[in-house]
Amino acid sequence: MTLRQSLLQSIEELKKEVTDMADLALANLREGLTAFKNSDHKLANEVIRKDDEVDSYEEEIAKMALKIIWKEQPVASDLRLVTGILKLITDLERIGDHACDIAEMTLHLEANRNKRMLPLTSKMAEIVEDMVLSSIQALVKVDGDLARKVIDKDDEVDELFQQVINKMTNELKNETIDPNDAIYILMVGKYFERVGDHAVNIAQWIIFMVSGTHKNTLLF
């Protein structure tokens, strides 16, 4: 096997590990939402338990990436890809953390007491799930155009979160919701908003892989 073939094989293995990590983080996010919708404490506890698996992926992928840089000495686009992966796995880990956070909020909500917010939070979840999934697809294809579409969706998530804030404010004024429930629901909305931000971060690193530019700054 030539040095080039060895490098390409190592990069494909690295990308597969990242994809597996992303798939797990996304699955946890979906299950966290399901637990929230159904006030399912058993499922919420399962999501919390699986967070350690996402954390383990981050550590293992970081080791793989650093080994490639040290052993294979990639240059140009290959180096950008490996460096970008080193950066974006932090965002994948945070997405997993927020799935866990949503599950923990669920444990504080009694059955059916969060129903009034489901249309807004469900819409937020639908968009951020698509953003995370699209960012994974953009990573697999190293597709800058798809990554830019992820970034474009972030404003929708921010607008929905503002609607959640407005609705909670009105419900508190009218004393139609328990203040503790309002806090937990607001936190869930904030976690979805943060997931959207992390999907944007992943997309920005994918654009860097393609162009060497990160947030309009040329790095290499």
Instruction: Dump pLDDT digits (tens) for 47-61.
Output: 999 999 999 999 999
At residue 218, the pLDDT reads 67
Predicted model pTM = 0.91
- CATH code that applies to domain 3-218: 1.20.58.220
Q: Residue 63's closest CA among 18, 3, 6?
A: 18
Mean pLDDT for the chain overall: 89
Q: Residue 148's closest CA among 68, 210, 92, 72?
A: 210
* First-to-last C-alpha distance (Å) of the chain: 29
Largest Cα separation within the chain, whole Å, is 71
Q: Which residue has the tokens 């503790």?
A: 180
Distance CA 140, CA 188 (A): 29
Q: Model confidence at 184, in pLDDT bands (50, 70, 90)? A: confident
Residues in the chain: 220
